[in-house]
Amino acid sequence: DIVHNVQAAAASNPVLVVGMRGNPHCRRARRMLDAAGIAHQYLEYGSYLSLWRARNALKMWTGWPTFPMVFVRGTLIGGADNLARQIESGELKRSLSV
């Protein structure tokens, strides 16, 4: 069910951040997008102690082991560090303008 929710949100939002409560990297990703003026959707699934099984399904589906999971135009680009590189290089804005 969680995988279907994320698939639908990734398909219908240019930028989607999937995260969890209490994770500083998820907050960092959202702050970077806000600072860059890039609108995004955020889905939060539990915290370190809750909903870990549901998050594990996402990890298995994507092959990405950590949170956040950042999707651009329906494609997983990685986590906060990958997002930072794409923002700094201008690649994110270019891919959103296409």
- Could you please report the per-residue DSSP string of 7-72? HHHHHH-SEEEEE-TT-HHHHHHHHHHHHTT---EEEE---TTSSHHHHHHHHHHH---SS-EEEE
| pLDDT computed for residue 3 by the predictor | 97
| pLDDT computed for residue 98 by the predictor | 75
| pLDDT computed for residue 27 by the predictor | 98
Q: What is the pLDDT along the chain (98 residues), one digit of tens a residue?
A: 999 999 999 999 999 999 999 999 999 999 999 999 999 999 999 999 999 999 999 999 999 999 999 999 999 999 999 999 999 999 999 999 97
CA geometry: angle 90, 91, 96, nearest 5 deg: 105
pTM of the model: 0.96
Tokens read off for 69: 């999971």
